[in-house]
Amino acid sequence: MEYILECRKIFKSFGGVQALRGVDFTLRSGEVHALVGENGAGKSTLIKIISGALLPDRGDIFYMGQPVRIDSPRKAQEIGISTVYQEPLVYSELSVLENIFLGREIRTPWGNIDWKREEEQARSLFASLGLPHHFLREPMGELSVGLQQLVLIAKALVYEAKVIIFDEPTAILTEHETERLFTIIRKLRDQGVGIIYISHRLEEIFRIADRVTVMRDGEVRGEFPITAVDRAKIVELMAGKLLVEEIARRGVKGDHPLLSVQGLTRRPRFFDISFDLFPGEILGFFGLVGSGRTDVAQTIFGLFRPESGKVFFDGREVSFGSPEEAMQAGIAYLPEDRKVQGLFPIQSVAYNISVTVLRELVRRLGIVDVRKERDIAEKHIRELNIKTPNLKTRVYSLSGGNQQKVVLAKWLSVTPKLLILDEPTRGIDVASKSEIHNLIAHLADQGLAVMMISSELPEILKMSDRVVVMHEGRITGVFEGPEKTAENIIRAATGERMAVAGGVGV
Amino acid sequence: MKRVLDYIVENRVLFLLVLFVALFVVFAVSVPGFFTFYNLTNMTQYGVELGLLALAEMLVILSGGGGIDLSVGSMLTIVAMIIGVLIGRVGLNPSLSILLGLFAGAGMGYLNGVLVSYTGILPFIVTLASLYIYKSLALIIAVDPRFGPNPMPVSNFPESFYFVGQYRIAGIPFQVLCIFIPVILLLWLLLEKSIFGRYLYGVGSNEKAALFSGINVCRVRVTVYTLSGILSALSGWIITSRIASARPDIGTGYELQAITIAVLGGVSIKGGEGSIGGVVLGIAIITLLYNGMQLAGIHQIWQLGSLGVVLVGSVLLNQVLLARRKI
What is the DSSP track for A184-232? Answer: HHHHHHHTT-EEEEE-S-HHHHHHH-SEEEEEETTEEEEEEEGGG--HH
CATH of B2-326, one of 1.20.1290.10, 2.160.10.10, 1.10.275.10, 1.10.3470.10: 1.10.3470.10
Chain B, window 142-161: residues with a beta carbon less than 8 angstroms from a chain A beta carbon: none
- Inter-chain residue contact B205 with A346, CB threshold 8 Å: yes
3-state secondary structure labels for all residues of A466-500: EEEEEECCEEEEEEEHHHCCHHHHHHHHCCCCCCC
The listed range with the strongest mean pLDDT (A458-472, B1-15, B100-114, B159-173) is B100-114
- Inter-chain residue contact B205 with A345, CB threshold 8 Å: yes
Give dist(CA B234, CA B54) in Å, integer: 13
Mean pLDDT, to the nearest integer, of B130-159? 91
pLDDT (0 to 100) of residue A170: 80
Domain ranges of chain A: 5-239
Residues A258-290: pLDDT tens digits? 999 999 999 888 999 999 999 999 999 998 777
The CA distance from A487 to the nearest CA of chain B, in Å, is 35
- Inter-chain residue contact A365 with B194, CB threshold 8 Å: yes
Higher pLDDT, B132 or A159: B132
- Inter-chain residue contact B205 with A367, CB threshold 8 Å: no
Angle between helices B72-84 and B94-119 (to 10 degrees): 150
For residue A84, CA distances in Å to A39, A142, A166, A195 come to: 19, 19, 5, 11
Whether B204 has its CB under 8 Å from any CB of chain A: the answer is: no
pLDDT at B216 over 90: yes
Whether B62 has its CB under 8 Å from any CB of chain A: the answer is: no
pLDDT (0 to 100) of residue A241: 66
> Chain A partners of B210 at a C-beta cutoff of 8 Å?
344
Nearest CB to A367; choose among B194, B212, B215: B194
Chain B, window 209-238: residues with a beta carbon less than 8 angstroms from a chain A beta carbon: 209-216
Q: Chain B interface, mutation test: which of A298, A320, A324, most B Cβ atoms within 10 Å?
A: A324
pLDDT (0 to 100) of residue A129: 80
Higher pLDDT, A426 or B181: B181
pLDDT (0 to 100) of residue A441: 92
Kind plus residue range of the DSSP H or E element containing A33: strand A32-36
Give dist(CA A161, CA B307) in Å, integer: 58
- Closest chain B residue by Cα to residue A320: B214
Give all strands of the β-sheet with A449-453 in edge-to-edge order.
A331-334, A418-422, A449-453, A282-287, A466-471, A474-480
- Inter-chain residue contact B273 with A346, CB threshold 8 Å: yes
> Chain A partners of B272 at a C-beta cutoff of 8 Å?
344, 346-347
Provide the number of CB pairs (under 8 Å) joining chain A to chain B: 71
pLDDT (0 to 100) of residue A497: 67
Residues A222-238: pLDDT tens digits? 999 999 998 888 888 88
What CA dihedral angle connects A245, A250, A254 and A257, to 10 degrees?
-10
Domain ranges of chain B: 2-326
Nearest CB to A368; choose among B194, B206, B215: B194
The CA distance from B206 to the nearest CA of chain A, in Å, is 6
Q: Chain A interface, mutation test: which of B189, B200, B212, B217, most A Cβ atoms within 10 Å?
A: B212
- Inter-chain residue contact B194 with A322, CB threshold 8 Å: no
pLDDT (0 to 100) of residue B324: 65
pLDDT (0 to 100) of residue B191: 95
For residue B44, CA distances in Å to B14, B48, B175 come to: 21, 7, 9
Q: Chain B interface, mutation test: which of A344, A404, A406, most B Cβ atoms within 10 Å?
A: A344
- Inter-chain residue contact B212 with A333, CB threshold 8 Å: yes
- Inter-chain residue contact A345 with B206, CB threshold 8 Å: yes
> Chain A partners of B208 at a C-beta cutoff of 8 Å?
340-341
Angle between helices B94-119 and B217-243 (to 10 degrees): 150
Decide: A88 and A145 in contact? Cβ < 8 Å. Answer: yes
ipTM of the complex: 0.86
> Chain B partners of A322 at a C-beta cutoff of 8 Å?
214, 216
Q: Which residue ranges of chain A lie beneath pLDDT 50?
A: 499-506
Whether B186 has its CB under 8 Å from any CB of chain A: the answer is: no
Q: Chain B interface, mutation test: which of A347, A354, A421, most B Cβ atoms within 10 Å?
A: A347
Nearest CB to B214; choose among A335, A356, A366: A356
Nearest CB to B214; choose among A323, A341, A366: A323
Nearest CB to A341; choose among B198, B199, B208: B208
- Inter-chain residue contact B209 with A340, CB threshold 8 Å: yes
The CA distance from A431 to the nearest CA of chain B, in Å, is 26
Residues B35-58: pLDDT tens digits? 998 898 888 988 999 999 999 999
Whether B64 has its CB under 8 Å from any CB of chain A: the answer is: no
At the topology level, CATH places domain A5-239 in Rossmann fold (3.40.50)
Decide: B250 and B71 in contact? Cβ < 8 Å. Answer: no
- Closest chain A residue by Cα to residue B207: A341
Give dist(CA B90, CA B83) in Å, integer: 10
Residues A22-52: pLDDT tens digits? 999 999 999 999 999 877 788 888 999 999 9
Kind plus residue range of the DSSP H or E element containing B243: helix B217-243
- Inter-chain residue contact A326 with B212, CB threshold 8 Å: no
Whether B198 has its CB under 8 Å from any CB of chain A: the answer is: yes
Give the β-pairing of A194-198 and A163-167. parallel
pLDDT at B30 over 60: yes
Q: What are A's interface residues with B at a Cβ cutoff of 8 A?
A: 303, 322-324, 326-328, 333, 335, 340-347, 351, 355-356, 358-359, 361-362, 365-368, 370, 410
Decide: B269 and B66 in contact? Cβ < 8 Å. Answer: no
The CA distance from A423 to the nearest CA of chain B, in Å, is 15
Q: Is the pTM of this model over 0.90?
A: no
Whether B208 has its CB under 8 Å from any CB of chain A: the answer is: yes
Give dist(CA A22, CA A122) in Å, integer: 41
